[in-house]
């Protein structure tokens, strides 16, 4: 966004994203989110008295239920969330309808549950719940990956009225044979599952790379969570980051970059000021809701060389200074790169020396050498004469 009210959202054509581990190594292929889902129905239009039909889940029974039913659909919600309250009546009604059609005791193919993230903080953190409501679909036997331990769950982004929810649940059950209820009945023991095998690593992250075309006016590039149908929990969002490269203008070729460093030895530190810098916020209550902001003052730099009496522009580059700060806020944490083009411009000109200037310098050097040699010879000769006079005076 810029001060001229120019704004771009959800940039996907020129920006790529990869999931990474704690060593900044990609753990999979490029992430393609697809089209951004738009929810038009956030609940039933007519509010009716509802009876709880979904099963309350907690850290104690979540693993047991997820291993007992072929499909477990969970609504992670927060009582303070507006969108969660809009969803609650239709969710409970859907759970009641699905329970009647697919009796957990007789059928056992699907179960709808709910998790109050204000009560089950650790459970929601295990599943990386940052926005409410989050509807997750866990399929038995495919919710854990051997590589990195990431959850291979599905997320429901469809409409949230009862009719749409019931249709979606029917789709989940369609490919599961009815005989699966026998296995479900046999697996109703209250055995506990080692939770250490289920959660995804807390040290993973995302690598964002690419470029964005912006206007040459003050503006900012913001990386944040954004949704028109979810409420985010600011305390669960950590925007710590490490900057590998952040520059303005066209990417320099190796040859041009060498010329740039050769001609501007005193400006090289400002070409990519943020490169190699890390900004880490440790997760915890004290460091919750931390926004990291970078303020960049951009100066245009032109490198010009004169060869054979012809002026030649080598390249056009942008230098910048950077000042960073951590700010506590009640809003969702973001990463902001504020940039402001400077009205000043740096012009570096390379002027070759003429041959006459070279000859003059050579003569000056040779003359200086002879002059210094004569001075040294005179000092040495006079010193010897004085020494001889002193010796003669002593002898007399």
259-294 confidence digits (pLDDT tens): 767 766 655 557 778 888 888 887 665 667 889 999
pLDDT tens digits for range 166-187: 998 988 888 777 665 555 555 5
Bond preceding residue 133 cis, omega within 30 of 0: yes
Among 199, 213, 175, 168, smallest CA distance to 62 is for 199
The label of the residue with tokens 């400002």 reads: 270
Q: Report yes or no: 149 and 200 within 8 Å, Cβ to Cβ.
A: yes
Judged against a pLDDT cut of 70, whether residue 108 lies above it is answered with yes
Q: What pLDDT score was predicted for residue 219?
A: 92
Judged against a pLDDT cut of 90, whether residue 356 lies above it is answered with no
Distance CA 81, CA 74 (A): 16
Residue ranges of the alpha helices (H) in the chain? 62-68, 82-101, 121-126, 162-174, 180-186, 254-263, 355-395
Q: What pLDDT score was predicted for residue 114?
A: 93
- Least confidently predicted of 33-42, 188-197, 240-249, 301-310: 188-197
346 or 34: which carries more pLDDT confidence?
Answer: 346
Judged against a pLDDT cut of 50, whether residue 330 lies above it is answered with yes
Q: How many CA atoms lie within 13 A of 367 on its CB side?
A: 6
In this prediction the pTM is 0.62
5 or 396: which carries more pLDDT confidence?
Answer: 5
pLDDT band at 105 (very low <50, low <70, confident <90, very high): confident
- Least confidently predicted of 102-106, 146-150, 256-260: 146-150
Mean pLDDT of 192-219: 68
Mean pLDDT of 252-257: 74
Residue 169 burial by Cβ neighbours in a 10 Å radius (0-12, 13-18, 19+): buried
Q: What percent of the chain has pLDDT over 90?
A: 12
pLDDT band at 295 (very low <50, low <70, confident <90, very high): very high
Q: What pLDDT score was predicted for residue 284?
A: 65
Q: How many CB atoms lie within 10 A of CB 291?
A: 21
Tell me how long the chain is: 396
Q: What pLDDT score was predicted for residue 308?
A: 56
Q: What pLDDT score was predicted for residue 264?
A: 64
Q: How many CB atoms lie within 10 A of CB 64?
A: 17
Q: Report yes or no: 132 and 84 within 8 Å, Cβ to Cβ.
A: yes
Judged against a pLDDT cut of 90, whether residue 340 lies above it is answered with yes
Q: What pLDDT score was predicted for residue 254?
A: 77
Catalytic residue flag (residue 363): no
Joined tokens for residue 248: 């303005």
pLDDT band at 396 (very low <50, low <70, confident <90, very high): low
Q: Chain centroid to CA 104: how far?
A: 42
Residues in CB range of 70: below 8 A, 6 or more apart: 108, 109, 110, 139, 140, 176, 180, 184
Judged against a pLDDT cut of 50, whether residue 195 lies above it is answered with no
Q: What percent of the chain has pLDDT over 70?
A: 79
Q: What pLDDT score was predicted for residue 266?
A: 56
Distance CA 299, CA 319 (A): 5
Active-site residue among 81, 117, 206, 363?
81
Judged against a pLDDT cut of 70, whether residue 203 lies above it is answered with no
Q: How many CB atoms lie within 10 A of CB 314?
A: 16
DSSP secondary structure code for residue 289 in this structure: S
Joined tokens for residue 51: 């009876």
pLDDT band at 22 (very low <50, low <70, confident <90, very high): confident
- Least confidently predicted of 83-87, 137-141, 215-219: 137-141
Q: What pLDDT score was predicted for residue 46?
A: 64
Q: Report yes or no: 320 and 284 within 8 Å, Cβ to Cβ.
A: no
């Amino acid at each position: 966004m810029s001060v001229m009210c120019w704004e771009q959202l959800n940039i996907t054509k020129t920006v790529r994203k990869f999931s990474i581990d704690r060593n900044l190594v990609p753990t999979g292929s490029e992430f393609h989110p697809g089209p951004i889902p738009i929810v038009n129905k956030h609940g039933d239009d007519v509010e009716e008295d509802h009876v709880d039909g979904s099963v309350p889940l907690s850290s104690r029974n979540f693993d047991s239920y997820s291993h007992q039913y072929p499909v477990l659909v969970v609504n992670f919600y927060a009582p303070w969330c507006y969108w969660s309250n809009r969803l609650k009546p239709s969710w409970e009604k859907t759970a009641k309808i699905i329970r009647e059609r697919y009796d957990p005791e007789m059928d056992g193919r699907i179960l709808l549950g709910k998790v109050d993230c204000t009560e089950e903080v650790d459970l929601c953190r295990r599943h990386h719940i940052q926005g409410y409501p989050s509807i997750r679909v866990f399929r038995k036997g495919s919710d854990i990956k051997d590589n990195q331990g990431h959850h291979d769950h599905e997320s429901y982004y469809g409409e949230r009225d009862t009719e749409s929810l019931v249709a979606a649940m029917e789709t989940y059950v369609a490919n599961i044979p009815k005989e699966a209820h026998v296995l479900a009945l046999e697996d109703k023991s209250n055995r506990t599952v080692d939770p250490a095998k289920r959660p995804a690593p807390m040290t993973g992250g995302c690598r964002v790379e690419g470029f964005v075309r912006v206007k040459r006016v003050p503006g900012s590039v913001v990386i944040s969570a954004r949704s028109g149908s979810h409420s985010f929990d600011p305390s669960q969002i950590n925007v710590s980051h490490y900057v590998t490269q952040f520059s303005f203008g066209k990417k320099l070729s190796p040859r041009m970059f060498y010329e740039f460093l050769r001609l501007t030895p005193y400006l090289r530190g400002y070409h990519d000021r943020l490169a190699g810098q890390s900004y880490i916020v440790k997760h915890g209550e004290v460091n919750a809701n931390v926004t990291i902001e970078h303020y960049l003052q951009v100066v245009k730099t032109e490198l010009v060389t004169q060869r054979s009496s012809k002026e030649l522009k080598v390249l056009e580059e942008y230098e910048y200074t950077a000042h960073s700060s951590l700010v506590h806020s009640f809003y969702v944490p973001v990463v902001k790169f504020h940039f402001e083009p400077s009205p000043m411009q740096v012009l570096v000109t390379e002027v070759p020396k003429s041959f006459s200037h070279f000859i003059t310098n050579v003569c000056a050097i040779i003359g200086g050498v002879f002059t210094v040699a004569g001075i040294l010879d005179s000092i040495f000769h006079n010193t010897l004469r004085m020494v001889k006079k002193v010796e003669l005076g002593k002898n007399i």
